[in-house]
Structure 1
Amino acid sequence: MTTRVLVADDHPIFRDGLVKSLEETGEFRVVATASSADEAVAMAKARSPDLALLDLSMPGNGLSALAEILAAKSAEHVAMLTVSEEDDDVGKALQSGASAYILKGVSATELRRILNGVVAGEAYVSPGLAARVLSLMTSPKPSTETSPFDDLTKREVEILQLVSKSLSNKEVARELHIQEKTVKHHMTTIMSKLQARNRVEAALMARDQWGRDR
């Protein structure tokens, strides 16, 4: 099934190259392009893409477009593609609901892989930003000996350990010989128990917790 994409970036040469890179394998079809936040919001409402891929620094601010598109539910998934590694930008994008924060410079093959994962329900943060994302997104831990990790079942621990190693739901299911939908169900429960906003935060919390326990 071809994924319908909105591409928003204010640099025409980069935008055109991005469109070609996405469409060359037939996995994605770009149904609309935009060069500003306002255009991105309007085109998302008009075309209802499966995925909106937004530049952060385009006129009007990509974060503004992200918030409006998600509020209007005019795209099922929204991913940010940017050069910014600023903590504030990363934190705001993920806290506003972006499914992915991708740094420009990624290869076309890797970008398609990441976006396929996003459409499948995965979350992604470019390597190198993960440690900072953890400090931005996790709340201070209360001074108590109890931990939300204590509430996880044996199966939930097994799944979260694999997720923390960057395995997708499909790969986790294959590793544990269970169905992918079962993994998704467990991940929903895990995120609720850990009070994690998304899969990325849950994985980073796991790395932090179990890394300290070793």
Structure 2
Amino acid sequence: MTTTILVADDHPIFRDGLVKSLEEHGTFLVVGVAASATEAIKLAASLKPDIALLDLSMPGSGLSAIAQIASQNLAKHVAMLTVSEDGENVSEALRLGAKAYILKGVSARELRAILNDVAKGETHVTPSLAAKMLTFMTKELNAPSPLDDLTKREEDILRLVATGQSNREVADALGLQEKTVKHYMTTILEKLHARNRVEAALIAHKAFER
């Protein structure tokens, strides 16, 4: 059974060689090529390939392309083929929906084998990157929360503000004076280095999700 592939990379010579390497054994059929994230998304929407094979650093960002292609199911599977060995990029690509993160130093034979596995729904990360990804994820998990400097009362107020409540509503809920809540909010904004209550609410949402 032939697996259809969309290839997106902004380097023509590499892209042409990649297409030839994929198609030479008849297992894969490249149904479209793109040079940017925008083109990749557009082609994926019209071609619905089995695999969208994307470069990370192409114009428009490969991560942006993953986000839209994966979330909208424009391809059955998404795989990254890149030179980036950054653990954060690996983690983000997988979080956004990539099934594989492959370095461009891989041989044509290895790439075909990996993509065969991806077509079956399997996940792959180049072994040398696994440790880097784990290190990044561990650091992220152990990073201090931006809310650590808040007192219990300040955190209670911020939680209510994050739900969209006004100072008056927060005051009523906690049995405080509105001017007291305003004072607390000034302190909270300073501690979070937030410019306004909306930004503080966004910081809170992210922290509460951890």
Runs of 4+ in 1 over 2 A off after TM superposition: 134-141
In the other structure, the counterpart of 2:53 is 53
Aligned to 1:37: 37
- AA aligned opposite 2:11: H
Structure 1: unaligned runs, 5 residues or longer:
142-214
Q: Matched residue of 1:81: which SS? A: strand
C-alpha distance in structure 1 between counterparts of 2:18 and 2:96, whole Å: 24
CA distance in 1, matches of 2:52, 2:21: 15
Alignment partners' CA distance in 2, 1:134 and 1:7: 28
**TM-score of the superposition, structure 2-length normalised?**
0.65
Match of 1:5, SS state, is strand
How far apart, CA to CA, are the structure 1 residues paired with 2:83 and 2:26?
26
> How many residue pairs end up in the alignment?
141
In the TM superposition, residue 26 of structure 1 has moved relative to its aligned partner by 0.4
- Residue in 2 that maps onto 1:20: 20
Deviates more, 1:126-135 or 1:102-111: 126-135
Map 1:80-159; keep pairs closer than 5 Å. Answer: 80-137=80-137, 140=141
Distance in 2 (CA, whole Å) between partners of 1:49 and 1:137 is: 31
Q: Give a deviation string over 1:110-159, Cα, whole Å, max 9, x none.
A: 00000000111111011211112223346859xxxxxxxxxxxxxxxxxx
- 2:75 corresponds to which residue? 75
Q: Higher Cα Rg: structure 1 or 2?
A: 2
Q: Provide, for residues 79-117 of structure 1, a one-character-per-residue CA deviation record: whole Å limited to 9, x for no partner.
A: 000000112211111111110000001100000000000
Seen in structure 2, the aligned counterparts of structure 1 residues 108 and 12 have a Cα distance that, compared at 3 Å, is same
Structure 1 CA distance for aligned equivalents of residues 57 and 65 of structure 2: 11
Q: Structure 2: where are the runs of 5+ without partners?
A: 143-210
* Matching residue's letter, 1:61: S
Let me know the Cα RMSD of the aligned residues. 1.4
Amino acid at match of 2:105: G
**Residues of 1 paired with 2:133 and 2:54: CA distance?**
19
SS of 1:66's equivalent?
Answer: helix
Alpha-carbon distance in structure 2 between the residues aligned to 1:5 and 1:133 = 26
- Aligned identity (percent) is 64
Match of 1:9 in 2: 9
| Cα distance change, pair 20–133 in 1 and its aligned pair in 2 (3 A) | same
SS in 2 for 1:4: strand
- 1:53-90 per-residue CA deviation (whole Å, 9 max, x = no partner) reads 00000000000000010111110000000000112211
